[in-house]
């Protein structure tokens, strides 16, 4: 158990070809994130550690919750002081993207499902809610509940079909479903989705405290609540029987079958929960951004989620959150930076690449994959192992994961 | 009747473009287990630099067109070879990371192209004849389709000859079946990796130039939408099967044209076709060894 | 992989009686997908004749061979080929040094013709085509046929022919008679006997009659470790107690875990 990162490297370090297994198996094998020692041996980790982790987590949440009331300036990172709408809007988006990345972590990190269609459920949450508010005159809460129902059904139907296959075919079926959704949204049937322009939020039915720039901090708190709830549910699912089963399936599907368990249902449950939570994130995203844009349904957005999770470290919950936050922050700040005097006055050879945030993020991503296996979580894990503080089963990842 | 014929030829033309992208994807996946997300970038750069070349040479001259094809092919091949060598090779046998670096490369490359060429599509032209139509049984068929279909056919023939007649072709075919056994015969299969990337990139570069004539414009976003359909084609045809890629390309292209014309649901039909094929034949029409759930 | 209740002390055949073994494996550990399949294997293969590698299904015979070739992850230990360490080399380099491999399940390239399968294996300047054609005349007749369309026995001939095409230092042959009709088993055994005149062979084989016919020494594995080594496979097989303990009774149809 002490060698979780080493195991990861070992798995990949094979020289000269693997077993004569199929390509999909190989993909699945290399998808496997480092085994997290958490759930399998909770008794071994002292409760004191848990307590410290728990206190740290609560302190972190409290600090985040207090930010809108404080005057914290982080020049270069946040556009304004933390109590002002500019910073709050950005921080709320960061939290939401952290939550979105977490829902994707449930698929890729827990169940080893490489979906290229996860954006479909985020988009469905945003668009269905937007359309209901626009067209039906329903109140926000009933509309949200109905949207939730729609997303659950959508995730069930698409998941049930897609999970008939696995590996790359699974990735392709999910991609295709999301593509269908994306085409539908862009096609703007009956003027419902607003096509390329997107759909703007009809605020008539939205309670006043969630509308307008002056209420951004309420949206911020809402986003924080979403992140916490998503984290709690993801943790709960991951430590549930279904979560263990899905993890076991990821490691060795045949063995699970031999035990007479049904991997399909466990995977479907994870897929549906992931999709549903993504839909919730989508709904709040609609409120926060006062609208929905076709990008939220696109393959690009799913890839963004993938990038976030990989940056943070596949298999790590807090890694996914940090990856989501970091990516969103970088994306926003690099865009601002691109407009800056310093960059605009550079010669074209530097100016052109530096003013493309996605170029910088893509390059960063490639570098992380090449030189930082396991992403940020893997980096932290190695760091703690090197400094000697990482006694078996007590690295910060474990502590954090067990605590939160 | 003439509408049907026109739809058929445009469908085959679209299929020809798909094939040029999908053939490389399929071979790369078949041999290396890597789903190459950067393939769209190879195509896009081929198209963009191909168009720059044609413009310098005179866009309406045949020489300019021919040279743009050649340059597009070389650019695609070079970028692909470089990708394999610099990004894929250090991650030998780590398939998911290999897929991830191609995702990252694609993000970075497309953003860079946007920085250089802007996001707006640039409308292009070719030799005058290519802009005209030929009357076949009453259907006014755009001439550029003939060129596209002809070149895709030549590329297919070239690939088949290469795979059948050369030692490296043999290694690639054997490697698609069972890579570790190829190494167990004392063959360094990594050389074949660079080779399939280069071939795939060359085809994609040609595909980029032809796609820009098919759609009438170049743009940094050209590759993105084509790539998704090329993925679908590759999976429908059977990952790793060149013949499958060829058949599926034409099938998808034609189906898309018809469904678009009659019910304007071409993209949906393709998605449904993919779902149906995968659920009934998970390894694709001509695939051999894709594991199923 | 479970552990059995009893484990006999491991006799370390360091050197053995043969002063210069062609292949010596020391403390080899190997894993597949993080699961250890070769625990700690030490043995050597004499420079002449056929040495049998025996054991129940799933004890790591195939995995040991794959680990020697670098086809699965080697975690620790050394492998020397004629005194030269090869455990750090990639598979193709090991094979180029003269380690021929006849895999379990034959692994011919089904879509390639017989001739192509053979041509692919040629790595010397002077491939031994005549020798192979003399040993397997049937393959000459079927040169243009797709290897996937051959019978199991014929595929085994292709697989053997691929290994014999080059001058090798040692052959690693994994269950060559698995799933073959009795008549074909005899032919394969004869071919191996013929081959053994020129190259030492490490043979994994479940058919004990074939082992009796071919093998000089034997190495017995259990649970990923060597539990018995002998210079006479026949005397080992005659010892009912040892056979029952290490091979089980009626080893049944050969099928090592993947």
Q: What is the pLDDT of residues B69-88, one digit of tens each?
A: 999 999 999 999 999 999 88
Set of chain A residues whose Cβ sits within 8 Å of the Cβ of C69: 16
> What is chain B's pLDDT, residue by residue, as a tens digit (293 residues)?
688 888 888 899 999 999 999 999 888 888 888 888 899 999 999 999 998 888 888 777 888 888 899 999 999 999 999 999 998 888 877 777 888 899 899 989 998 898 888 888 888 887 878 777 888 787 788 888 888 999 999 999 999 999 888 989 999 889 888 888 999 999 988 888 899 999 999 999 999 999 998 888 888 888 888 888 888 898 888 888 888 899 999 999 999 888 888 887 777 888 888 888 877 877 777 776 433 32
* Residues spanned by the domain of B156: 23-227
Q: Shortest Cα distance from C93 to chain B (angstroms)? A: 6
C-alpha span between C209 and B278 (Å, rounded): 47
**Interchain proximity C72–A19, CB inside 8 Å:** yes
Q: For residues B49 and B67, is the Cβ–Cβ distance under 8 A?
A: no
Q: Is B163 on the interface with C (CB under 8 A)?
A: no
What is the pLDDT, as a whole number, of residue A256? 63
Higher pLDDT, C26 or A39: C26
Residue B259 domain-assigned (yes or no): no
Contacts of A401 (CB under 8 A, 6+ apart): A36, A38, A235, A316, A317, A318
pLDDT tier at A61 (50, 70, 90 boundaries)? confident
* Three-state secondary structure string covering chain B: CHHHHHHHHHHHHHHHHHHHHHHHHHHHHHHHCCCCCCHHHHHHHHHHHHHHHHHHHCCCCHHHHHHHHHHHHHHHHHHHHHHHHHHHHHHCCCHHHHHHHHHHHHHHHHHHHHHHHCCCCEECCCCHHHHCEEEECCEEEEHHHHHHHHHHHHHHHHHHHHHHHCHHHHHHHHHHHCHHHHHCCCCCHHHHHHHHHHHHHHHHHHHHHHHHHHHCEECCCHHHHHHHHHHHHHHHHCCCCHHHHHHHHHHHHHHHHHHHHHHCCHHHHHHHHHHHHHHHCCCCCCCCCCCCC
Q: What is the pLDDT of residues A214-231, one digit of tens each?
A: 777 888 888 888 888 888
Residue B242 domain-assigned (yes or no): no
Set of chain A residues whose Cβ sits within 8 Å of the Cβ of C38: none
Set of chain C residues whose Cβ sits within 8 Å of the Cβ of B174: 109, 112, 116, 120
Residue (of C120, C202, C205) closest to C166 by Cα position: C120
Give partners of C (≥3 CB pairs < 8 A).
A, B
**Interchain proximity B101–A366, CB inside 8 Å:** yes
Percent of chain C with pLDDT over 70: 89
| C:69-128 residues touching chain B, CB 8 A cutoff | 69, 71, 90-92, 95-96, 101, 103, 107, 109-112, 116, 119-121, 123
Is beta strand C170-174 parallel, antiparallel or unpaired with respect to C201-204? Answer: parallel
Would you say residue A21 has pLDDT above 70? Answer: no
Would you say residue C196 has pLDDT above 70? Answer: yes
C-alpha span between A69 and A59 (Å, rounded): 16
Q: Is A356 on the interface with C (CB under 8 A)?
A: no
What is the pLDDT, as a whole number, of residue A389? 47
Q: Buried b / exposed e across C154-175, counting CB within 10 Å, b at 16+?
A: bbbbbbbbbbbbbebbbbbbbb
| DSSP classification of residue C141 | H
Query: Which residues are bridge partners to B139 per DSSP?
Result: B136
Q: What is the pLDDT of residues A127-148, one digit of tens each?
A: 999 888 888 878 888 888 999 9
Q: For residues B284 and B290, is the Cβ–Cβ distance under 8 A?
A: yes
**Interchain proximity B116–A366, CB inside 8 Å:** no
What is the pLDDT, as a whole number, of residue A278? 93
CA–CA distances in Å: residue C203 to residues A20, C168, C189, C191, C224: 20, 15, 11, 13, 17
What is the pLDDT, as a whole number, of residue A46? 59
Total number of domains constituting chain B: 1
Nearest CA in chain A to C88: A15
Q: What is the pLDDT of residues A268-327, one digit of tens each?
A: 888 999 999 999 999 989 888 888 888 888 888 888 898 888 888 887 888 888 888 988
Give partners of A (≥3 CB pairs < 8 A).
B, C
What is the pLDDT, as a whole number, of residue B206? 94
pLDDT tier at A17 (50, 70, 90 boundaries)? very low
Q: Is A19 on the interface with C (CB under 8 A)?
A: yes
The whole-chain average pLDDT of chain A stands at: 76
Q: Shortest Cα distance from C96 to chain B (angstroms)? A: 5
Residue B35 domain-assigned (yes or no): yes
- What are the structural domain ranges in chain C? 23-109+169-247
Percent of chain A with pLDDT over 70: 81
Helices marked H in A204-316:
216-239, 241-251, 253-258, 263-289, 299-312
Contacts of A342 (CB under 8 A, 6+ apart): none
**Interchain proximity A16–C75, CB inside 8 Å:** no
- What are the structural domain ranges in chain A? 26-338+348-396
What is the pLDDT, as a whole number, of residue B204? 93
Q: Shortest Cα distance from A134 to chain B (angstroms)? A: 26
C-alpha span between A234 and A39 (Å, rounded): 13
pLDDT tier at A152 (50, 70, 90 boundaries)? very high
C-alpha span between C112 and C146 (Å, rounded): 5
Mean pLDDT, rounded, for C111-138: 85
* CATH code, C23-109+169-247: 3.40.50.300
Is beta strand A291-292 parallel, antiparallel or unpaired with respect to A199-200? Answer: antiparallel
**Interchain proximity B112–A353, CB inside 8 Å:** yes
- Coil, strand or helix at A260: coil
Hey, which CATH number is domain A26-338+348-396, 1.20.1070, 2.40.128, 1.50.10, 1.10.3470?
A: 1.10.3470
pLDDT tier at A121 (50, 70, 90 boundaries)? very high
Start-to-end C-alpha separation, chain B:
44
């Amino acid at each position: 158990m002490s060698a979780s990162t080493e195991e990861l490297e070992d798995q990949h370090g094979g020289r000269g070809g693997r077993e004569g297994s199929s390509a999909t198996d190989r993909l699945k094998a290399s998808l496997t994130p480092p085994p997290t020692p958490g759930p399998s041996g909770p008794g071994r980790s002292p409760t004191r550690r848990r307590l410290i982790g728990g206190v740290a987590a609560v302190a972190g949440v409290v600090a985040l919750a207090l930010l809108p009331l404080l005057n914290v300036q982080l020049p270069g990172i946040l556009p304004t002081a933390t109590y002002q709408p500019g910073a709050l809007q950005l921080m709320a988006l960061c939290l939401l993207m952290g939550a979105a990345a977490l829902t994707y972590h449930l698929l890729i990190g827990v169940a080893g499902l490489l979906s290229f269609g996860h954006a479909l459920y985020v988009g469905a949450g945003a668009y269905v809610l937007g359309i209901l508010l626009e067209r039906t005159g329903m109140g926000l809460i009933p509309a949200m509940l109905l949207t939730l129902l729609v997303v659950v059904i959508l995730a069930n139907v698409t998941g049930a079909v897609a999970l008939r296959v696995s590996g790359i075919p699974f990735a392709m079926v999910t991609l295709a479903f999301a593509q269908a959704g994306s085409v539908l949204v862009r096609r703007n049937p009956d003027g419902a989705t607003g096509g390329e322009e997107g759909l703007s939020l009809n605020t008539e039915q939205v309670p006043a405290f969630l509308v307008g720039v002056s209420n951004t901090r309420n949206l911020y708190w809402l986003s924080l609540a979403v992140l916490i709830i998503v984290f709690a549910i993801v943790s709960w699912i991951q430590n549930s029987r279904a979560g263990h089963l899905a993890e076991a399936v990821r490691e060795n599907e045949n063995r699970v079958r031999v035990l007479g368990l049904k991997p399909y249902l466990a995977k479907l449950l994870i897929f549906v929960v992931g999709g549903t939570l993504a839909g919730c994130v989508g709904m709040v995203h609609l409120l926060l951004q006062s609208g929905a844009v076709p990008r939220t349904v696109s393959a690009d957005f799913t890839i963004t989620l993938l990038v976030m999770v990989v940056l943070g470290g596949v298999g790590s919950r807090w890694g996914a959150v940090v990856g989501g936050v970091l990516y969103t922050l970088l994306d926003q700040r690099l865009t601002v930076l691109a407009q800056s005097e310093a960059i605009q006055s550079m010669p074209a050879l530097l100016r052109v690449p530096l003013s493309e945030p996605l170029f910088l993020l893509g390059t960063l991503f490639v570098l992380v994959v090449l030189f930082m296996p396991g992403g940020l979580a893997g980096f932290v894990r190695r760091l703690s192992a090197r400094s000697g503080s990482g006694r078996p089963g007590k690295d910060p990842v474990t502590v954090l994961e067990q605590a939160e | 009747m003439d509408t049907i014929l026109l739809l058929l030829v445009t469908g085959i033309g679209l299929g020809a473009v798909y094939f040029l992208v999908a053939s490389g994807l399929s071979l790369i996946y078949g041999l290396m287990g890597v789903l190459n997300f950067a393939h769209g970038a190879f195509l896009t750069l081929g198209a963009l630099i191909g168009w720059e070349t044609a413009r310098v040479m005179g866009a309406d001259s045949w020489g300019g067109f021919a040279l743009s094809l050649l340059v597009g092919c070389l650019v695609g091949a070079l970028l692909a070879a470089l990708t394999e060598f610099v990004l894929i090779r250090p991650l030998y046998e780590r398939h998911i990371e290999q897929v991830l670096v191609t995702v990252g490369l694609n993000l970075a490359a497309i953003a860079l192209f946007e920085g250089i060429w802007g996001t707006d599509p640039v409308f292009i032209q070719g030799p005058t004849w290519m802009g005209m139509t030929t009357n076949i049984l009453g259907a006014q068929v755009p001439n550029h389709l003939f060129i596209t279909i002809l070149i895709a056919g030549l590329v297919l023939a070239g690939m088949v000859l290469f795979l059948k007649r050369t030692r490296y072709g043999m290694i690639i075919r054997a490697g698609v079946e069972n890579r570790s056994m190829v190494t167990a015969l004392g063959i360094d299969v990594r050389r074949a990796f660079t080779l399939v990337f280069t071939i795939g990139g060359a085809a994609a570069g040609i595909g980029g130039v032809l796609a820009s004539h098919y759609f009438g414009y170049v743009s940094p976003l050209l590759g993105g939408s084509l790539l998704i359909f090329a993925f679908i084609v590759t999976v429908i045809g059977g990952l790793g099967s060149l013949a499958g890629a060829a058949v599926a390309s034409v099938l998808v292209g034609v189906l898309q044209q018809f469904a678009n014309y009659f019910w304007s649901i071409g993209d949906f039909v393709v998605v449904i076709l993919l779902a149906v094929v995968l659920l009934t034949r998970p390894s694709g029409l001509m695939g051999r060894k894709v594991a199923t759930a | 992989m479970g552990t059995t209740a009893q484990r006999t002390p491991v006799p370390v055949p360091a050197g053995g009686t043969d002063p210069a073994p062609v292949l010596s494996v020391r403390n080899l550990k190997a894993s597949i997908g993080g699961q250890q399949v070769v625990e700690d294997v030490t043995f050597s293969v004499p420079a002449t004749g056929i040495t049998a590698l025996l054991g129940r299904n799933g004890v790591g015979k195939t995995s040991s061979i794959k680990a020697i070739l670098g086809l699965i992850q080697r975690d620790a230990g050394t492998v020397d080929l004629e005194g030269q360490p090869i455990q750090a080399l990639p598979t193709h380099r090991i094979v180029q040094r003269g380690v021929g491999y006849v895999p379990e399940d034959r692994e011919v390239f089904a879509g390639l013709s017989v001739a192509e399968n053979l041509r692919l294996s040629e790595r010397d300047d002077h491939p031994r085509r005549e020798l192979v054609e003399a040993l397997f005349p049937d393959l000459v007749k079927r040169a243009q046929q797709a290897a996937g369309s051959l019978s199991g026995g014929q595929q085994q001939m292709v697989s053997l022919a691929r290994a014999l095409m080059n001058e090798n230092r040692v052959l690693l042959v994994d269950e060559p008679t698995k799933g073959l009709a009795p008549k074909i088993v005899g032919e394969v055994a004869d071919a191996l006997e013929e081959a053994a005149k020129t190259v030492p062979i490490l043979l994994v084989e479940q058919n004990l009659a074939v082992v009796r016919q071919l093998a000089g020494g034997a190495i017995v594995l259990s649970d990923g470790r060597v539990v018995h080594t002998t210079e006479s496979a026949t005397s080992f097989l005659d010892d009912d107690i040892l056979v029952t303990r290490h091979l089980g009774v009626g080893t049944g149809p050969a099928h090592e875990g993947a």
